[in-house]
Amino acid sequence: MIKLGLQIPNFSYGTGVPQIFPTVIAQAQEAEAAGYDSVFVMDHFYQLPGLGTPDQPMLEAYTALGGLATATERVQLGTLVTGNTYRNPTLLAKAITTLDVVSQGRAVLGIGTGWYELEHDSLGYEFGTFTDRFNKLGEALEIILPMLRGERPTVEGKYYRAKEAMAEPRFRDHIPLMIGGSGEKKTIPLAARHFDHLNIIAGFDELPRKVQVVKENCERIDRDPATLETSVLAVAIIDENVTADVIPDDFKQQAVYGSPEQIAEQVQTKILDAGVGGVILSPVTSLNGYQPGGITELGKLLTPLLGG
């Protein structure tokens, strides 16, 4: 289960390239020691708007996760979430099954349509419309999901081809599947049909409705809604001097802030009370960088709220 996760979105630590990955490891190990159940990285090649400029450091996701697998023992590892457009589905199936072997059964396959147009244009990936990308995701799943189960799918699709594609070795017959999004016509119904976990990408004020739509879609196909886990990604600004007036408008519906105690209270009222089952935090101790301790303090306060 994914109840309390850590996302690492920023590799600009001001320490020089040799210290980037040791700092990533330190965050993952702190989260593991503090009781977090999962650690995620973004699947991007350039830094995102709002977090930095495109030329700031960004590690390739699955290479980084392989390194984290050897530096941790318990936490689940994955992307929040993989951009389907960035990899052939057979390659993604091979990457995630390899991560599962390296981590001894701790991989999570997070996947979505992909959305960052600059990366696509700069690196040569076709972007297209959202409908194009959503249809590509659906076709990719026809290849990926059977491969994860040990089957050998043959697909002649509009976007992808595979002929008796294999992914061996495999550590498990089922790797947990996470999708990110909140579209009520496409993403949530797809989550209800195929996924174990939905990371709801929506403002705090939208969450009660999104949770209700998840329930309705599960019930429509006779699935117990309790079997589709939900979470929200929240930026956590750990600084008791930060107040609402300094939070950019674009982040006010995704950010929790203040002291660890204030953040825990906001997680309860804005996320858990809305019916969402878990939270994945993207924490900073100020508006930049990483300082040890904040992840631990939040873990101590949030674990009891989440039934840990």
pLDDT tens per residue, range 134-148? 999 999 999 999 999
pLDDT of residue 288: 54
Domain-wise residue ranges, the chain:
4-228
* Closest listed residue to residue 258, CA positions, set 240, 233, 281: 240
pLDDT tens per residue, range 4-59? 999 998 898 888 899 999 999 999 999 999 999 999 999 999 999 888 899 999 99
Is the pTM value of this prediction over 0.85?
Answer: yes
pLDDT tens per residue, range 91-122? 999 999 999 999 999 999 999 999 999 999 99
178 token code pair: 């996470």
pLDDT of residue 2: 94
pLDDT of residue 308: 67
* Closest listed residue to residue 183, CA positions, set 159, 194, 199, 195: 199
* Closest listed residue to residue 110, CA positions, set 184, 31, 201: 201
Domain 4-228 has CATH 3.40.50.720: no
Cα(260)–Cα(162) distance, integer angstroms: 49
The answer for residues whose C-beta is within 8 angstroms of residue 203's C-beta and 6 or more apart is 253, 254
The answer for residues whose C-beta is within 8 angstroms of residue 53's C-beta and 6 or more apart is 47
What value does the mean pLDDT of the chain take?
94
φ, ψ dihedrals at 74, nearest 5°: -120, -40
In this prediction, residue 65 has a pLDDT band, given cuts at 50, 70 and 90, of very high
Report the pLDDT averaged over residues 266-295.
Answer: 87
Cα(161)–Cα(157) distance, integer angstroms: 6
pLDDT tens per residue, range 173-203? 999 999 999 999 999 999 999 999 999 999 9
- Residue 287 scores a pLDDT above 50: no
